[in-house]
Chain A
Amino acid sequence: MMDHRNRRDSKGGRVLREDDINILYGTCHEMGLDRYSDIEFALQVLQENPADIQMREVVLEAVANFEFLQTVSPNPFRPFAPLPSDDLSGELIVGRTENGGIYGINPDDLCRNMVLIGASGSGKSVILAQLAAMFLLSRRLNAARDHGGEEEFPGVNGGVR
């Protein structure tokens, strides 16, 4: 079955199945487009009236321009997920992307240093502790592998008490 998100028109823009509002809604949510007030409004109208062609065009145009918007938007807190070309497959998991994927950093890339900024109680120490736990667990796992054992990676959430 073909993934609807990968269908493109002649200009390279994304094309959706126009008759399926739920897919359209889900796609907008994945891309973070529903956080824009005009798109959110258009989606609300479409849920009430799927036949509203004008609103459907607004949403489809926003989806088609998704990559363009992602490139030119100067706001670093734009609600878009990272580009597919970004390497997020590192071992150190610092969070999740907008579409639910894992956001991981390669340990060797940490040589370029990391800074965590946050108000009191926002989770800085927890992230640092989780990172430390991941380091320690991966070391233990590697040591077990070197000695022929089969220790399982226990997961990051169970690591810190």
Chain B
Amino acid sequence: MPLVIMVEKRNFRGLMGVSDDLVVIPWRFYRDNILRPPPRVGIKQWENIMAQLLTGLYLLYPSRSLLLEYIENLYQSHGFTGQSDQSCPNLRLLFEREIRGHKYKAVSHFERYRENLESRVAGILRHCGEIFDCDYGIDLVRMLETNVVLEMDGLAREMKELITTLLLTRIFMYRLATSERTNRLKTIVMIDEGQDIFRRQSELQEAPSYLATLIAQARQMECAICVGAQQCRDLTFSLMSNTAFKIGTGFVDLRDLDEFCRIV
């Protein structure tokens, strides 16, 4: 039963004294090719999920079809068919070849959607381009055989949300593709300082992010998600409504206590 811990600080390194097979990965050393599907997951399914994930994270729902088209074009031009031993295009290639490579009439909707995509993907690459600028990324199957602490200190909030959502999506899709339901816990994901990732504000702005879908499916995937956060009222409704164990260790103010009492 592997343990994946995603933290903002470095205070979980002490766990290395408890287990010999615990691997601590600071985010600078973490690699993930966002366009490479997890093992046994088809590219058609993965490109849909990625388009949904990226546009949901940045509230760019109108740009989703365009992004999907760009990803499909890139897969085709690169000759990628989803085989694990094939070279796979990455986010930088998507940005340079497809998003920047296309031009539409300056006043068209397409140009506006493309510009939105360009600014957001450029932001991702500027913040943590080295994470996504790779061909294979971290081996998910090996990762799920060991215990991992992923340290995300110093990362921007959107990047933390992106990396967390991406990793959870990979775990879930891999579990869905490979295993049958056994009603036994298979993976435990612990997220400290979860208020940056499960933000209620973003859930209220528009449709729920892809993370909300993942949280709702966690039990079916036999994956436990344990989240620590400072304020109850900052957390998404999807998280609060899909957690059976709610532990309060001290509240910031009466309003937060009131919120906690309402959801318990």
Binding site for B on A (CB under 8 A): 75-77, 94, 105, 107-120, 122-125, 127-129, 131-133, 135-137, 139-140, 159-161
In the bound assembly, the distance between CA atoms of A76 and B261 in angstroms comes to: 7
Out of B183, B188, B261, name the residue touching A110 (CB < 8 Å): B188
A133-B15, A136-B3, A161-B14 are known contacts. Are A114 and B226 too (CB-CB below 8 A)? yes
Contacts of B239 in A (CB 8 A): 113, 115
A123 surroundings in chain B (CB, below 8 A):
249-250
Min CB distance, B98 to chain A, in Å? 37
Residues of chain A lying within 8 A (CB to CB) of residue B264? 76
A89 to chain B: closest CB distance in Å?
A: 15
**Do the beta carbons of A114 and B18 come within 8 Å of each other?**
no
A136: chain B residues at CB < 8 Å are: 3, 15, 18-19, 22, 147
Q: Are B227 and A114 in contact (CB under 8 A)?
A: yes
Q: Is B255 in the interface zone, CB < 8 Å from A? A: no
Please measure, in the bound complex, the distance between the C-alpha atom of A133 and the C-alpha atom of B260, giving whole angstroms. 27
Q: 25 A-B residue contacts at CB 8 Å?
A: A75-B261, A94-B247, A107-B224, A108-B185, A110-B245, A111-B222, A112-B224, A113-B219, A113-B226, A113-B242, A114-B224, A114-B244, A115-B240, A117-B246, A117-B247, A118-B228, A118-B249, A118-B250, A124-B230, A125-B11, A129-B15, A131-B226, A136-B3, A139-B1, A140-B18
Flag if A116 contacts B229 (CB, 8 Å). Answer: yes
Report if B17 contacts A (CB, 8 A).
yes
How many residues on chain B are close to A (CB under 8 Å)? 53
Known: A117-B229, A117-B232, A131-B190. A112 touches B245 (CB 8 A): yes
Measured in the bound complex, the distance between the Cα atoms of B43 and A21 in whole Å is 73
Main secondary structure, interface of B, reads mixed
B22 / chain A contacts, CB cutoff of 8 Å: 136
Q: In the complex, what residues of B have CB within 8 A of residue A110's CB? A: 185, 188, 224, 226, 245
A121 to chain B, nearest CB (A): 8
A118 with B188: CB separation less than 8 A: no
Q: Given the complex of chains A and B, what is the CA–CA distance between A103 and B123 in angstroms?
A: 46
Q: Which of chain B's residues have a CB closer than 8 A to the CB of A125?
A: 7, 9, 11-12, 192, 228
Is B124 in contact with chain A by the CB < 8 A criterion? no
Query: B242 contacts A160, CB within 8 Å?
Result: no
From 4 to 60 in chain B, residues with beta carbon under 8 angstroms from any chain A beta carbon are 5, 7, 9, 11-12, 14-15, 17-19, 22
Interface centre among A77, A110, A115, A120 (most CB of B within 10 A): A115
Partner of A117, one of B188, B226, B251: B251
Q: Which residues of A contact B171 (CB under 8 A)?
A: none
Neighbouring A residues of B226 by C-beta, 8 Å: 110, 113-116, 128, 131
Q: Of the candidates B1, B192, B225, B235, which one forms a contact with A124 in the assembled complex, judged by CB atoms under 8 Å apart?
A: B192
Contact at B11–A115, with CB atoms within 8 Å?
no
Knowing A105-B245, A111-B223, A127-B249, the reply to whether A135 touches B228 (Cβ < 8 A) is no
- When the two chains form their complex, are residues A108 and B249 in contact, meaning their CB atoms are under 8 A apart? no
Is B243 in the interface zone, CB < 8 Å from A?
yes
Minimum-distance CB pairs A-B, first 8: A118-B249, A122-B250, A112-B244, A110-B224, A124-B228, A161-B14, A136-B19, A114-B245
Q: Which of A76, A105, A120, A159 contacts B18 (CB 8 A)?
A: A159
- Nearest residue (CB) in A for B246 is A115
Nearest CB of chain A from residue B190's CB, rounded to whole Å: 5
B165 in contact (CB, < 8 A)? no
Which residue from B18, B194, B218 sits with its C-beta under 8 Å from A111? Answer: B218
Q: In the complex, which residues of chain A have a beta carbon less than 8 angstroms from the beta carbon of B17?
A: 161
CA of A70 to CA of B261, assembled, Å: 16
> B106-126 interface mask toward A, CB cutoff 8 Å, 1 = contact, 0 = none?
000000000000000000000
